Amino acid sequence: MTTKRSPEPFAWLLFSSGGMAAAMLIPVLLLLFGIVFPLGWLSAPSHDRLAAVLTHPVTLLVLFGLCVLALFHWAHRFRYTLYDGLQLRKAAPVIAVLCYGGAAVGSVIAAFVLIRAL
Amino acid sequence: MSETDDKHAVPDMPDTTGTITMEVARFRPDRESEPSWDSYDVPLRKEWAVLDGLNHIKDQLDGTLSYRWSCRMGICGSCGMTVNGEPKLTCSTFLTDYAPGPVRVEPLANFPVIRDLVVDIEDFMAKLPTVKPWLVSGDEEPAEDSEYRQTPAEMDDYRRYSMCINCMLCYSACPVYALDPDFIGPAAIALAQRYNLDSRDEGNEDRRDVLASAEGVWACTFVGECSVACPKDVDPAGAIQRYKLTAATQAVKDLLLPRGAR
Ligand code: SF4
Ligand code: FES
């Protein structure tokens, strides 16, 4: 039985908080912008107001957090899908680097996009 | 059946609504190198479990059939087999639920087959003691007549996990165990949690190396099939998720805090 420290708990923490954040925030956003505003159940905020909210540093920080966590959630899930689903255990290290690396690159891009909105 | 029918029913000749075909996996390593199938027609009685069908086969039709069973009441955990593709306790799985049949009975998946429906459980038996599934207490021996008291709420913390009967249906259902036989597995982790969450136990730290290893909870990808298969509602998948949080919290503490403060 191996007892050496593995980074797995940290990957898992990112994974589960990503799942939680995505599950809590994304349905709300979809509900508001996909159903409630288009159907006029609530009056949609004006463009200026929305732009002001969106470019507020706190909003950007929240969105950045959501992007990073959701990306790492994806990376963890996809890594196991490749390992177990496609039976690629032998390539485990490469897959881990590609998945978490992909999430890291995605996070940098998200930061870039969000900073440009400032 | 109505009340009056019941009274007139002859005890030895219970309601028979025809027969059902049982297709049973056979493997006799002394004679064959590959498993094969044998078909038997057994009476379809409403109170007959799959195990009763197998007992009928063994007593009346083919005495060479080998399988394990003992209590016939879902307690001993020895009668687990694959019934129509799903891991089941054969003493608590009824033939009528599979009518008109056929019912396919195979040994539990993910274990080596010794003969017919009998599997080798050595792997599980070897893993189980590694999680110390017993009350670990500190150095101090309790006085002879002392009791360890527990409130009902404290008991509720682990009660569910204490219901495990070691039937191994969860191992049979687990796709991770199928791919990675070193995975310590659902029941062993649930049983470790049964003691970890017991207010009288002090073995958390002792169990941690095994549970928090790559072959412990971190091998689990939360498929959840173990909890579906469990006949005792133990919810091993929940036990594993809960320990993942414990282990992750501990890992963060290890990283951030100096030794003494953990
Ligand atoms: S957890 Fe459930 S399925 Fe697994 S061995 Fe225990 S009783 Fe059987
Ligand atoms: S015979 Fe004991 S659990 Fe089925």
**Which residue in the set A10, A80, A87 is minimally distant from B251, CB to CB?**
A10
Among the listed ranges B6-15, B169-178, B244-253, which one has the minimum average pLDDT value? B6-15
Q: In CATH, what is the architecture of B122-261?
A: Orthogonal Bundle (1.10)
Average pLDDT, chain B: 90
- Do residue A9 and residue B212 have CB atoms under 8 angstroms apart? yes
Quote the ligand 1 centre to B229 CA distance (angstroms). 8
pTM of the full structure: 0.84
Q: Is A39 on the interface with B (CB under 8 A)?
A: no
- Do residue A9 and residue B218 have CB atoms under 8 angstroms apart? yes
For residue B77, the ligand 2 atom closest to its alpha carbon is 3
Rounded Cα distance between A114 and A59, Å, is 10
Closest residue in chain B to residue A79, using alpha carbons only = B221
CA distances, B102 to each of B39, B47, B61, B105, B261 (Å)? 9, 17, 17, 10, 62
Q: What is the identity of the amino acid at A89?
A: R
Rounded Cα distance between B236 and B170, Å, is 8
Among the listed ranges A44-48, A91-95, A114-118, B7-11, which one has the minimum average pLDDT value? B7-11
CA distances, B236 to each of A20, A87, B4, B133, B165 (Å)? 21, 24, 44, 14, 12
State the sign of the Cα–Cα–Cα–Cα dihedral B52, B112, B224, A1.
Answer: positive
Nearest alpha carbon to residue B169 among B193, B146, B186: B186
Question: β-strand B16-26 against B103-106: which pairing, if any?
Answer: parallel
Closest residue in chain A to residue B249, using alpha carbons only = A9
Query: Measuring from each residue's beta carbon to the nearest atom of ligand 1, which residues come in under 6 Å?
Result: B 164-170, 186-187, 190, 229-230, 232, 234, 236
**Contact residues on chain A for B188, CB-CB shorter than 8 A:** none
pLDDT of residue B139: 65
Q: Is A93 on the interface with B (CB under 8 A)?
A: no
pLDDT of residue B1: 42
pLDDT of residue B13: 54
Polymer length in residues for chain A: 118
pLDDT of residue B3: 45
Return the domain boundaries, chain B: 3-119, 122-261
pLDDT of residue A92: 82
Q: How far apart are the first and last CA of chain A?
A: 51
For residue B76, the ligand 2 atom closest to its alpha carbon is 2
Residue nearest to atom 1 of ligand 1 (CA): B187
pLDDT band at A1 (very low <50, low <70, confident <90, very high): very low
For residue B232, the ligand 1 atom closest to its alpha carbon is 7
pLDDT at B228 over 90: yes
Do B51 and B72 meet the contact criterion of CB atoms below 8 Å apart? yes
Q: Is A89 on the interface with B (CB under 8 A)?
A: yes
Q: Which residues pair with B86 in a beta bridge?
A: B83
Say how many CA atoms lie within 13 Å of B79 toward its Cβ: 23
**Contact residues on chain B for A4, CB-CB shorter than 8 A:** 213
Question: Which are the contacts of B54, defined by CB distance < 8 A and separation ≥ 6?
Answer: B22, B24, B65, B67, B69, B90, B105, B117
pLDDT of residue A89: 76
Helices (H), chain B: 3-8, 50-56, 122-127, 152-159, 169-173, 175-179, 186-196, 204-211, 225-229, 236-256
Polymer length in residues for chain B: 262
pLDDT of residue B231: 97
Among the listed ranges A2-6, A98-102, A110-114, which one has the minimum average pLDDT value? A2-6
pLDDT tens, position by position, B65-110: 999 999 999 999 999 999 999 999 999 999 999 988 899 999 999 9
pLDDT at B176 over 80: yes
Rounded Cα distance between B220 and B249, Å, is 17
Q: Is B244 on the interface with A (CB under 8 A)?
A: yes
What number is the ipTM of this complex? 0.73
pLDDT tens, position by position, A18-69: 999 989 888 998 999 899 988 988 888 888 888 888 888 898 999 999 999 9
Rounded Cα distance between B28 and B232, Å, is 32
Question: Which are the contacts of B238, defined by CB distance < 8 A and separation ≥ 6?
Answer: B227
Residue with tokens 């995975």: B183
- Do residue A2 and residue B212 have CB atoms under 8 angstroms apart? no
Quote the ligand 2 centre to B163 CA distance (angstroms). 14
B77 lines ligand 2 (CB under 6 A): yes
List strand residue ranges (DSSP E) for B79-189, in order: 80-83, 86-89, 103-106, 113-115, 118-119
Return the domain boundaries, chain A: 9-20+48-116
For residue B173, the ligand 1 atom closest to its alpha carbon is 3
Question: Which are the contacts of B232, defined by CB distance < 8 A and separation ≥ 6?
Answer: B74, B163, B164, B165, B167
* CATH fourth-level superfamily of B3-119: Beta-grasp domain (3.10.20.30)
pLDDT tens, position by position, B94-151: 999 998 889 999 999 999 999 999 999 999 999 999 999 999 987 666 667 777 888 9
pLDDT of residue A118: 75
pLDDT band at B186 (very low <50, low <70, confident <90, very high): very high
- Do residue B247 and residue A9 have CB atoms under 8 angstroms apart? yes
For the record, the structure tokens of B136 come out as: 């670990």
